[in-house]
Homo-oligomer: A and B are copies of this chain.
Amino acid sequence: MEVAILIYDRFTALDAVGPYEVLRLIPGARVSFAAREKGPQRTDAGSLAIVADFEIEEIDAPDIVVIPGGPGQSALMDDTRVLDWVRKVHSTTRWTTSVCTGSLVLAAAGLLKGLRATSHWLALEVLRKYGAEPTTERVVTQGKIITAAGVSAGIDMALTLVALECGEDVAQSIQLGIEYDPKPPFNAGSPEKAPAAIVDALRSRSRFLFQNLEGKASKADSN
């Protein structure tokens, strides 16, 4: 089972590492981190770098592909080299997946048209511009495409995938191995649950970023 995780400058680390920690435990799995260029890819905060051991073209037929999100994903949405690679690997994957705004890359590659899909809660309207049907579900499975909500949702997505691919026993064993019995100290992990003032503050802080992405999506759509 070949697992490819796409990374790039200004990705969000947990988007990639949550699924990695689950998928690497699939019996017989081999995980490869791939990027446009080999070498360290810095996260959005700049303080963490994960090494891409492969250029994307070196990975041509993964069984599972994971596209994490992060601010740098904006530069992938109109990068024909990346979009071509995503379409190519998708044609033979067993599972094509995304975490957070990674789904915007799938959308930009034209893979989500007419499908239900999710993303970070702040990015759902961008999905709509690409012709997807955004939902606030945490993990959305449509055929072989699985999209996850923001950042930490990649763990739930990967466990869902393992259960579909390898059965519930394997998924439960992995869940136990990573002791995934979450107890968040607050009930504030979604815009429906968090205090309104906190939701509004985050929305307003990131308005510019997501307006830009919507603009990019509209432009792509009219091309």
Residues in B whose Cβ lies below 8 Å from that of A180: 151-152, 182, 184, 189
Tell me the nearest residue of chain B to A47, going by C-beta.
B31
CB pair A179–B199 under 8 Å, yes or no, is no
User: With the chains together, A160 CA to B139 CA distance in Å?
Assistant: 26
Which one of A10-18, A56-64, A80-88 is at the interface?
Answer: A10-18
Residues in B whose Cβ lies below 8 Å from that of A49: 50-51, 53
CB pair B152–A178 under 8 Å, yes or no, is yes
Tell me the nearest residue of chain B to A172, going by C-beta.
B188
Answer whether A181 and B21 are a contact pair too, CB < 8 Å, given A32-B47, A50-B49, A186-B168: no
Chain A residues with a Cβ closer than 8 Å to the other chain, count: 63
Contact with B along A192-214 (1 / 0, CB 8 A): 01110011011000000000000
CB pair A159–B172 under 8 Å, yes or no, is no
User: With the chains together, A153 CA to B20 CA distance in Å?
Assistant: 16
User: With the chains together, A164 CA to B80 CA distance in Å?
Assistant: 46
CB pair B178–A150 under 8 Å, yes or no, is yes
CB pair A179–B50 under 8 Å, yes or no, is no
Q: Is residue A171 within 8 Å, beta carbon to beta carbon, of the partner chain?
A: yes
Q: Is residue A175 within 8 Å, beta carbon to beta carbon, of the partner chain?
A: yes
The 10 closest A-B pairs by CB, nearest first: A150-B179, A181-B189, A172-B188, A182-B182, A14-B21, A151-B178, A49-B51, A17-B17, A31-B47, A180-B189
- Apart from A139-B183, A171-B186, what are 8 other A-B pairs with CB-CB below 8 Å? A24-B45, A31-B45, A40-B40, A173-B188, A175-B188, A180-B182, A181-B184, A181-B193
29 contacts between A and B (CB under 8 A): A13-B17, A13-B20, A14-B18, A31-B47, A40-B40, A40-B51, A47-B53, A48-B51, A50-B51, A120-B179, A149-B179, A151-B178, A151-B180, A152-B155, A152-B179, A152-B182, A153-B179, A156-B182, A156-B185, A159-B185, A171-B185, A173-B201, A175-B184, A175-B186, A176-B194, A179-B189, A180-B182, A182-B184, A182-B189
